[in-house]
Structure 1
Amino acid sequence: MEIKDIKQQLSIGEVASHYGLQLDKHQRVLCPFHPDKTPSLQLYPKTDTYHCFSSNCNAGTGDVIKFIQLIERCSTHEAIMKAKSLLGAGNTMSKIQVSETSPPLSNEADLLERESLMTKVFSYFKKALPASKKAMQYLQGRSIDYGLHDMGYNSGGLHTESKNHHLVNSMVKSGLLKANAVHGYSVWAKECVIFPLRNHENKIVSLYGRSISNNEDQRHFYLTGRSGLYPCYPTSGAIRLILTESVIDAASLLQQAEISTSYEVLALYGTNGLTIEHQQAIIASTKLQEIIFMLDGDEAGKAATIKHSNTLLQLLPRVKITTVALPDGEDINSVLQSHDDSRVLVELIEGRQPVSFYAASENIPTETLTTSALSEGDARLNTANAELLIYDGGVLLIIVLGGIKVTGLDRLRVTLKIEHKQKQLLPLRHHLDLYNHSHTQGLISQVSASYDMSQQVVTAIIAQLTGALEGYRVQRMESLQPKPAAKPELLPVQREAAINYLNAPDLLKRTGVDIGRSGLVGEEVNRMIAYLVYSSRKQHTPLHIMFLGSSGSGKTYLQERVSDLIPAGDKIEITQVTENAFYYFKQDELKHKLLLIEDLDGAETSLYPLRELQSKKRITKTVTLKDNKGNLKTVTVTVDGPVSVSGCTTREKLYEDNANRCLLLYVDASKEQDRRIMEYQTRQSAGMVNYSEEQGIKQLFRNVQQVLQPVRVVNPYAGCIQLPEQIFKPRRTMTLLLSFIETITFYHQYQREVKRDTNGQAYIETTPGDIASAFELLKEVMFSKGDELAKATRIFLEQLKDYLHNNGEDGFTPQQVRKQFRLQPRTVQRYIRELHQYGYIRQVSGYKHRQGFEYVILDGNEYKELTSLIDAQIQSILTTLKSTTPTATVLRQ
C-alpha cells in the first residue's frame, strides 16, 4: 500500500480517537505534544491534517503520519507501519478492488517498464475480446459497439501461455498477478472487459476492468497506484467537456458521432472519483469554457455533481458549469439501452441547465456561484496598477504588493496578501519566490491550515496565479521592446497619384520645385542631392551624405526638412549613440534604413561601426557570455545593412575617414540665403504660410517613396565617364559619382523600360540625361573633391580675394580681415594657418605684438583655373555621350 493510499483511507479523527483524544465541537483537542490547558491543536478533517497554534509547541503542521510519529516518538517508517495497523487487514473497498502487491514506482525506469508492459498486455486483451462469446454478449447487452472503442477482455489465461512466461515477474510487480500461498497466481480483473487509462502523453499507464459476470459487488477493478484517465487527457484546446460517472458511460457517449465531434468526454472513477489527476488535466485545458456534469440520476450522482462543481469552481471560477438531468435511477448507459434512437443522449445534453449550488464544503454563497458569475469577463489578473496586481482565485483574493520585476526570468519573487472572500478571517501576507518549491509548499500549507481549505485546491490556485504572472511578465517585456513604425498601406488613390507623379516629364525639375514648396527655403542644389541620397536607401549600395557648415548655419535644419519627406518607418533619428549601440540592433532592424545623426560629435565613439556599415554593409562583434550553467561561451552578434547615413558637423577634417565615404554638402551661408530665410520667418509670423499645402506635398513625397521599389540599374555609358585628374582620392570619388548616377536612374524607374538579362533578372538602364543631371547637381561637390582646402577655408580665401581686388590692395593683416568679415579671432587664425601651410599666402612683414603680421596671396587665379579644368572635363564627357552608342552587354537577352 502506498503512503498516499494510507493518507486517503486513514482520517486524522480516527488517529486522534485511537490515542484517546476528545474533540470539541470546533474539532480542537488538548495538544498531546506540550502542556496544554486550553485546546490549541486544531484538526482539519477535510485535509486530514493538524496544526498547533501554541507558541510553546514545536509540532507545527502535519498529516496523519507525522502525528503518529510525534506521539509515538518513532521513525517515519515505524509511523507508516503503525498507520497500516490502524487501517487493519479487513479495511477493503466493497466496489473497487485494488491490488496492493506491488510497491510504488520509484524512478523513470520503472515508469517506462510499466508503460511497456501495459501496452503489451492490453494488445493481448484487445485480440482476446472478439474471441470471447460471453464478453461480446455482455457488450451487446450494454449497447456498446466494441469496434468503435479501444477495449479488450481478460480471460485470465495470459500468463499460462509459454510465450508470455517472461512477462510473469513484471505482471506480479504491476499487480496484474498475485502469487498464491500454495501454487499458481490470482489474476487481476479476470473475466472483465478492459479499458486502457492514458497519461498526458497519451500512453497507456494503467488499466480498468469491468466485470461481465458480477453486477453487484467487485465489479470495478483498478490497478495499484491508479493513474491515467479514460479515454485520454482533454486537449489543450477543449472548449466543452462532459464528465461522466463511469468508464462505460463515457464509452456510451463516445460512440455517438454527434457528441464526440462537439464535446470532449472524460470519465470519473465513481461519485468520489474526481482525483487530483482529473483536476490537473482539466486545468491544463486553457481554452475551456464549459464543464458539463452528466452523472447518474440518483441521490449519490446529484450530490457528487454539487460537490465536484464546487471543487472545479474554485479552480476555474470563469468556466461555466452545467448539469444534464438524467431520468431518476438511470445512468447514461441504461438510457442508451432503453431507447432505440441514440439521439436521446444528444437531446438530453442540449437541455442541460446551470448547476444549482447550495452551501457546500467551502461555504460559498449561492449568488457567488451562479453561472452569471462565471460568464466571460475580464481576466482574473487585474493589471490596471502595475504596483498592485489583483488576482481573483475564486475563493481566494490574492494581491501582489509591489508588482513583479520584469528582469530575472529565473525567479518570480512576490509579496502576497491573501484574503478568503467568504470567511471573516485576517489576511495572510507572505514574501516568497514562486519558482522555489519549498517556498510554495510552505505557502500552500499555511493557507490550507489557516482557511481550512483543501491543499489540492490551494495548489491549483497558486499554480494558476504563477501562470498568470508569467503571462503578464511576458506581455510587459514585449511592450518594453521598441516596435518598428508600421508602414501604412497606401490607398489606391494615393498609390495612383504617386505613380503619376513619377511618370510625369521633368521629374527632377518638378521634384526640386516641390521640395521648396514643402517649406524648405533656398539650398536648391543641396536639397535635391540630399533627397536623392535619402531615396538611395532602398538600393543595394546606398549613398551617404554629410552636411558641413559653421554653427548656426542651418545644417540640422536642412537635414530635418529633407528627411520629413521620408516615411517615418524608413528612418532612425539619432542624437547621441554609444560605441556598442549599433551592435544591439536586431539583425535586420537597420536594413535599408536612413540613419539621421543630428551631430557627429554625439556619435564620435561609434564612427568605426558606422564606417563598416557604410562600406561592408554589415557589422559583427564577438563577445563572451555565460550560459545558465556558468560556462563561458563566445557569441557573434551580427547586424546587417545596407543603410544610408546622413550627419551634420562643423569639423570636416576630424571626420575625414567618414567624409571620404560621403557626398559633402556645404550649406549656403551667404547673405542672400539669410535674407530668404528671414523673409520666410516673417511670412510665418504674419500667418501667410499655407501649412496645409506644405503638409500635402510632404505626404505626396512620402507616398512616392513607398511606391519606389528596389531595382538593378545598369549604366551602359559608364566607360565614357572619367574623373578630372585634379580630383583627390579618385577611387572613392568615382564610386560616389557612379552610385549617384544610378540613384537618378532609380528615381526615374517608372519612366524606364524594364529589361531582363539571360537569367531572367529585371534591370533598367541609365540614359545620357541621367548622367548630365548628375554632373549638373554634383558640380560643386566635384570642385570640392578637387580642392585640397576645406570648403570653409576656400570660401574665406575667395571672399578675401574679392575684398583685396575691390579695394586695390595687395596685402592684409588678420586684424583687418577679422573686422571686415566679422569673424572670431580663433576662426581667422585657423584659416590663416591652413592657407599658410598649403602655400596659398605668404608672410611679408609685420610684428607679432604690434599691428600683427602682413600676408599676401600668392596666386589669385588658381581656383578659377581648377574649376575651369573640371568644368571643361565634364562638358567633354557630356559631349562624348551625345554621340556614343550604349555599350552592348551580356546582361541583355
Structure 2
Amino acid sequence: MPRIPETELEDLKRSVDLAALVRSKGVELKKHGSKDLAGLSPFTDEKTPSFIVTPAKNLWHCMSSGQGGSVIDFVMHYDGVSFRQAVELLRTKNPSLYKSAGPVRKSSVPKLPPAVEFDADDQTLFDQVLGYYAKRLHENPSAIDYLKKRGLWNEEAIERFRIGYADRTLGLTLPHKNRKDGAEIRTRLQRLGIYRESGHEHFNGSLVFPVMDEGGAVREIYGRKVGSQKSGIYHLYLPGPHAGIWNPECLKSPEIILTESIIDALTFWVNGFRNVTCIWGTEGFTDEHLEAFRKHRTQKIYLAYDRDKAGDRASERDAERLQSHGIECFRVKFPAGMDSNEYALKVTPPEMSLKAVLSGAEWLPPSPKGYGATGGKGLGHCVPQEGEIPFRVKDQDTRASSSNLLAANLAADAATVGQDIATKGKNASEDELRAFGSSRETSPALKLSGEDYLLDLGPRSYRVRGLQKNGSLEVLKVNLRLVCEDRFHLDTLDFYRSKDREAFVRAAASETTLEPDLIKRDLGKLLLALEQVQEERIRAATEPQPSHPEMTEEEQAEALELLRSPDLLHRILADFESCGIVGESTNKLTGYLACVSRKLDRPLAVIVQSTSAAGKSTLMESILAFIPEEERVKYSAMTGQSLYYLGETNLKNKILAIVEEEGAEKASYALKLLQSEGELTIASTGKDDQGRMKTEEYHVEGPVMIFLTTTAVDIDEELLNRCLVLTVDESREQTKAIHDLQREAETFEGLKRKVERDRILSVHKNAQRLLKPLPVVNPFAKQLTFLSDRTRTRRDHVKYLTLIRTIALLHQHQRPLKEKDGLEYIEATRSDIEEANRIAHEVLGRSLDELPPQTRRLLILLRDMVDSRCREEKVTPDVCLFSRRQVRRFTGWTEFQVRTHLNKLQEMEYILPHYGGRGQSFVYELLFNGEDDGRPQMCGLLDMTTTKTSSIENNGSSMKEAGSSIQRASNEHGSSIWKNGSKPSNQGPSGRNGHQPGENAQEGAENRKAS
C-alpha cells in the first residue's frame, strides 16, 4: 500500500487537539500540575484519575494500562481501528469519531461512509469505484506530484478520462468480510478485478486510467504504480485479455497517433494532439484496434512507439497489419531510447517539439511479404485479374528507353481513345473526354504541397511522396497514392521498372474499379512530369552554391563606406538607434564586437542576463540582425549530444545563438569545451557495411562565437568566466523610452523607420561579408596591464586582449596591410586600446563584482531609500529598518525580484534581517555603508591617453624605463564612441559620483576588498 508521508502524519498529530478529542469521548479532564490534564482512564475500570494528557506536546499516557502516544494512537485504542483507518478518521473528521459510546477491542463496522452502493449493477459499481479513486487523487500529494513531474497534470484531461488514485482506503469504507454484506460486496469487486483473491486492492498505490467505450461502459483499467517498487512491477491491468480503445473520439479523425501506453498517449493529448490512442504495450496491438481503424476508414497512422528495439520491432510488425488494410503508416522518430513523454519533458515547449517530431515522421513502405500477398486486397495484392491489359512494353527497365517507350504508348493510347470517342460521339463519358484531352498533354503541371507533389486528372487525384530521396537520374522510386471518390490505392514503385508499373496498374484498377488503360495513361503523364522535376532538382543540387548572395557594385560601395567611417563605432550605435533599438549602448556595441570576433581564432562569448520580459531576447535578436544569415546558427534548445553531430565545418567561424541558456543545459559541457578548446571530438559506435560494430569519430571544428541569454540570477561559474556578461537596463527611464518607441512604431514615422531599418541591416550584413579573418598584431601588448589579484582574471585578461583585436579587425579597411617574414597582418592602434578600455571597465568590471548586476542595483536603491528616510525621520541607518513591501513600493520591482535579490544580499551579509514576533513580518537593516558605489570598473588598465609614444614604440623599453609616463586608466565613461555629450545608459547600478580608483592594480583591489 502507498506509504502515508511522514510530514502529513506529523501535521495531523500537531493539528488535532488531543484534549478536545478526549473530552468528546466523555472523559472529563482536570488540571494536573502546571502542564498536564488528568481524568479517568477510558481503557480500564480504575476509579482514580490515571489518564494524563500533555497539551503542550499533544501526547497522552494511561498509567493504569501502560498505553500512550499521539492522537492517532488514541483513536486506534479507543475505537478499535487500524492505523490507516485512524488516520482517515482524523483526516475527514467524521462525526462518528466523537460519538463512540466507549472503547471497543476490535471494530468490524466501517467508520467511513461507504464508497459504493451494495445493490448496484456491475457498470454502476465500476463508476462508483472510479469516482472514489478520482476523489482520492486530489487528496494524495504523491500522486499529484507524479502527474506534474510527467507533465500530465491537466484538469480537463483528469476530468475527461476520469483519472484517479487507488490509495487502499476503499476497503476502509467497506464492511469486513466476516459480515454478510461485506463478504458479498468484496466478492463482487474481486470478480470485477478491483480486488484480488488475497483481499487486497488490485490497483493499490497506482494511478488509475479507465478505458471506456463511446457509451461510457468500462472496458479496461490501466494502473501505473507511483514510487519505486521492490517487485519491479509498475504496470497493471484488469485480469483477462485487453479490451477497449482509449480515447475512442480519436477514431473520427482520418489520421491517428498510436502510442505504446496511455501515459504516452496522454502526453500528446494534453499538448493539443487529440487524435491519439494507444495499444497495451509492444505486444498489445489487438484485433479490436485493427477492426476499429478499418471500420472508421482510418487513412494514416503515426506509430509513436518507444525508440528502442522492442518499439522498432513492434512498429514493423503492426505496420504490416495496418498496411494490409490500406492504412498508410509513419514511424515517429524520437531520440534513441526515448518515448514521447520523456521527449516532451526534455525538449520544450512540448507542443512545438511534438509537432516537429510528427512532421519528421518516416514513411514506412509496405513490406513485400505483407498480408496482402496471401490473397487479400491490400497493398500487397498484385495478382493479375482476368481481362486486365498489361503494358505493351514489359521488357525494358532502363531509364534511357522507358521514357520514350512510354511516350510512344501514350500516343497510341491517345489515338485509341480518340477513335473510341469518335465512335461513341455524344455517348462518351465525361471521364473519357477528360482522359482524351489530358492524353494530348505530354507534361501536366504538378502542384507542390509541402514535400509532396499532387496531380489532378479529372476525378482522379495522384499524390507523389519521397521524390526528394532520389539522388540519381537512374532511379525514380516514389510512394504513389491514387484516390478516386471514396476509393484509393497506395503503393511504392520505381517508375523506371516496368514490373512496378504493371503491378500498380493492376492493383489500383482492382481497388478503384477504374479501367487499367486509363490508369496506365495517367502514369505515363505523371512520369514525364516527375522526370522534369527530378532533373531540375538534381541539377540545382549539383551546381555549386555561393556561400552568400553576390553584392552589386553599389551594395559593395555602401558597405565599404561604412567600414571606412572614421567614427565607425559611433556609426554602429547610431544605426542601432535608427533601427529602433533604444538605449543599451554598451550592450549593443559589445554584442556587435563579439559577433565580429567570430573571424578570430579565439572568439568572445556573450551571455545576456536579465529578468523575464526585460528584453534580453530582443537585445540578442537586434544584434544578430546585423549579421548575415549564413554566418549564424540559432536554436531554441539543444540535446546533450547534438553539438557533436552538427558537421565538421558547419560551425566554423560562425555564431551559435541559443535563445535560453536553460534550453542548452544538457549541452553545457560541449559548449564549454567548444569555447575553451575550439573543437569537439567524440567516439561513437556504429555499424559497417557488413553489420559489424565499429568505432566512428565525429569532429566539429571551431572557432565559434557563442551567444546565450538567461534569466538566472546565479550563473554557472564555469560559464561565467568564459563569457562576457551583459545585463539589460531595467530602469524606469529605459522602460519609458521603449514605450515611446513602441508608440512611434504605430505612426507614419514608425513605418518609415521600418523601411529604413531594412536598408541599414542590408548594409551591415554586406559589410560583415567583406571582413576577412586577418591576423592582428598589438605593438603595445607588452606595455598593457591588467588586474592580477585573483586567478579568474587569467581568462578575463584573454577577453580583454581579444576585445582589442576585435576592434582592430573591424577597422581592417582603415589600416594598411603589413607583411613581415612572409606573414601578412594588421596592427592595433592606441584608439583601439582606448575603446577597449572603456568597454572593459563596464563589462569586465562587472564580472569581478561579487554581486550579480541586478542585486547590486537593488543594493544601491536600498542605500538611496535608507538615506532618504534617515533624513526625513532624523534617525541613524542602524534603526531605520525596512520591509519587503516598502522596498517594492520604492523600487517598483515585483515581489519575485525583491524576494530573490534580498535573499542574495542577506547571504552576502549586506543586509541583516530582524524577525518579528508571532504573526509578524520581519524587517531588514542595511549594513552597506556606500563606500563601494558598485560602479563597474576594471582597475589596472593602461591609460593610452597619457602614455608617451617613445616609451611604447621603443621595442627595448620596459615598464621601468617608461617610468611615471605609464598610468592607469580612470573609470570615466566618456569616450569618442559616444559623441556630442551622449553617454551610454549604465547597465549596472547607478553609483555616486566622485569615486576615484586606486593608483595601481593592487591599490584598486584593496579598495574593492575594503568596501
TM-score of the two chains, using structure 1 as the length reference? 0.50
SS in 2 for 1:591: coil
Deviations, residues 753-786 of structure 1 (Å, cap 9, x unaligned): 111231x232101112101100112211232122
Which position in structure 2 is the counterpart of 1:670? 731
Query: Are 1:656 and 2:717 an aligned pair?
Result: yes
Q: Specify the SS of the correspondent of 1:763.
A: strand
The alignment partner of 2:575 has SS state of helix
**Equivalent runs, 1:4-403 vs 2, <5 Å:** 284=400, 312=405, 378=443, 402-403=463-464
CA apart distance, 1:390: 5.8
User: Could you say which residue in structure 2 is the equivalent of 1:839?
Assistant: 909
Name the residue aligned to 1:699. Answer: 762
Say which SS state the counterpart of residue 573 (structure 1) adopts. Answer: strand
1:159-184 Cα shifts (integer Å, max 9, x gaps):
xxxxxxxxxxxxxxxxxxxxxxxxxx
Alignment gaps of 5+ in structure 1: 1-59, 63-273, 289-311, 322-356, 420-427
Q: Which amino acid aligns with 2:859?
A: L
2:810 — aligned with what?
747
Distance 2:483 2:571 in 1: 71
Aligned counterpart, 2:503:
443
Sort the Cα spacing of 1:445 and 1:487 in 2 relative to 1 into closer, same or farther, 3 A.
closer
Partners of 1:543 and 1:662 within 8 A in 2:
yes
How many residue pairs get aligned? The number is 537
Distance 1:440 1:464, change over 3 A: farther
Aligned counterpart, 1:802: 864
Task: Identify if the C-alpha distance between structure 1 residues 459 and 618 changes in structure 2 by more than 3 Å, giving closer, same or farther.
Answer: farther
Q: Which residue among 820, 829, 835 is the counterpart of 2:890?
A: 820
- Bigger Rg over Cα: 1
The CA deviation at 1:867 is 6.2
Equivalent residues of 1:315, 1:461 under 8 A apart:
no
* 1:509 counterpart = 2:570: yes
User: 1:401: how far off?
Assistant: 5.1
The structure 1 residue matched to 2:652, chosen from 591, 595, 598, is 591
Q: Match for 1:603: what amino acid?
A: A
Between 1:378-387 and 1:506-515, the stretch displaced more is: 378-387
CA contact (8 A) 2:491 2:504 kept: no
Secondary structure of the residue that 1:636 maps to in structure 2?
Answer: strand
Partner residue, 1:830: 900
The reply to whether residue 780 of structure 1 matches residue 842 of structure 2 is: yes
Q: For 1:475-511, what per-residue CA distance to the aligned partner results, in whole angstroms no more than 9, with x for missing partners?
A: 8999999x99962222112212221222232222232
User: How far apart, CA to CA, are the structure 1 residues paired with 2:466 and 2:854?
Assistant: 54
Q: Deviations over 1:38-71 (max 9, x none)?
A: xxxxxxxxxxxxxxxxxxxxxx999xxxxxxxxx
Q: Secondary structure at the match of 1:862?
A: coil
Residue number among 767, 785, 810 corresponding to 1:722 in the alignment: 785
How far does the alpha carbon of each residue in 1:170-221 deviate from its partner, in whole angstroms, 9 at most, with x for none?
xxxxxxxxxxxxxxxxxxxxxxxxxxxxxxxxxxxxxxxxxxxxxxxxxxxx
2:768 is the counterpart of 1:708: no
- CA change 1:832–1:749 in 2 (3 A) is same
Distance 1:887 1:789, change over 3 A: farther
State the distance in 1 between where 2:765 and 2:629 align: 9
1:754–1:764 contact (8 Å) kept in structure 2: yes
Q: How far apart are the structure 1 equivalents of 2:587 and 2:488?
A: 68
For 2:919 and 2:795, the matched residues in 1 are separated by: 46
1:498 aligns with 2:559: yes
Partners of 1:594 and 1:442 in 2: how far apart?
A: 53
How far 1:652 sits from its partner (Å)? 4.4
- How far did residue 413 of structure 1 move? 7.5
How big is the alpha-carbon RMSD for the aligned residues of Structure 1 and Structure 2?
A: 5.4
Mapped to 1, the partners of 2:877 and 2:933 lie a distance apart of: 18
Amino acid at match of 1:739: T
The CA distance in 1 between the partners of 2:814 and 2:490, in whole Å, is 70
Deviation, 1:711, is 0.9
- 1:841 partner amino acid: I
The answer to whether the 8 A contact 2:464-2:481 is kept is no
1:561–1:401 distance in 2 versus 1, CA, 3 Å: closer
Identity of aligned residues (%): 27
Amino acid at match of 1:819: R
Structure 2 Cα separation of the partners of residues 785 and 626 of structure 1: 47
Query: Which secondary structure does the structure 2 equivalent of 1:780 belong to?
Result: helix
Structure 2 CA distance, aligned partners of 1:659 and 1:882? 36
Structure 2 residue runs of 5 or longer lacking an equivalent are 1-382, 386-391, 424-432, 511-515, 871-875, 957-1011
Distance 1:796 1:610 in 2: 32
Would you say the 8 A contact 1:842–1:858 is kept in 2?
no
Relative to structure 1, the CA distance from residue 405 to residue 284 in structure 2 (aligned partners, 3 Å threshold; closer, same or farther) is closer
Preserved CA contact (<8 Å) 1:573 1:595: yes
Give the Cα separation in 2 of the matches to 1:287 and 1:365: 28
Matched-pair contact (CA < 8 Å) for 1:597–1:648: yes
1:374-397 deviation digits (Å, cap 9, x = unpaired): 9995379887898786699xxxx9
Please say if 1:579 is aligned against 2:649.
no
Letter aligned with residue 697 of structure 1: I
Shift of 1:739: 0.7
Give yes or no for the alignment of 1:874 onto 2:941.
yes
Answering whether residue 853 of structure 2 is matched by residue 791 of structure 1, we say yes
**Distance (whole Å) between structure 1 residues aligned to residue 899 and residue 573 of structure 2:** 38
Contact 2:406 2:524 in 1 (8 A): no
Counterpart residue number, 2:951: 884
Whether the aligned pair in 1 keeps the contact of 2:681 and 2:699 (CA below 8 Å) is yes
CA positional deviation for 1:734: 0.8
Change (3 A) 1:753 1:783: same
Pick aligned residue for 1:731 from 782, 794, 797: 794
One-letter code aligned to 2:927: I
**How far did 1:714 drift?**
1.2
Tell me, yes or no, if the aligned pair for 1:391 and 1:398 is still in contact at 8 Å: yes
Cα gap change, 1:466/1:677 in structure 2, threshold over 3 Å: closer, same or farther? closer
- Contact 1:576–1:602 under 8 Å retained in 2: yes
What residue is the counterpart of 1:114 in the other structure? none
The alpha-carbon deviation at position 619 of structure 1 amounts to 2.7
CA distance in 2, matches of 1:729, 1:498: 39
CA distance in 2, matches of 1:684, 1:363: 68
Could you say which residue in structure 2 is the equivalent of 1:646?
Answer: 707
One-letter amino acid matched to 1:828:
V
1:593, 1:644 within 8 Å by CA — same for their partners in 2?
yes
CA separation of 1:652/1:757 partners in 2, compared to 1, >3 Å: closer, same or farther?
farther
Question: What is the alpha-carbon distance in structure 1 between the residues aligned to residue 415 and residue 605 of structure 2?
Answer: 77
Query: Hey, what's the Cα distance between the residues in 2 that align with 1:287 and 1:507?
Result: 62
Q: What TM-score, normalized to structure 2?
A: 0.45
8 Å Cα contact 2:584/2:729 also seen in 1: yes
Rate the CA distance shift 1:781–1:478 in 2: closer, same or farther, 3 A.
Answer: farther
* Range moving further from structure 2, 726-735 or 838-847: 838-847
Residues 618, 783 of structure 1: CA spacing in aligned structure 2 closer, same or farther, 3 A cutoff?
Answer: same
Q: 1:363/1:532 Cα in 2 relative to 1: closer, same or farther (>3 Å)?
A: same
Conserved? CA contact 2:453–2:465, under 8 Å: no
Equivalent-residue separation in structure 2 for 1:580 and 1:477 (angstroms): 32
Question: Structure 2 vs 1, CA of residues 796 and 314 (structure 1 numbering), >3 Å: closer, same or farther?
Answer: closer
Of 669, 677, 682 in structure 2, the residue corresponding to residue 608 of structure 1 is 669
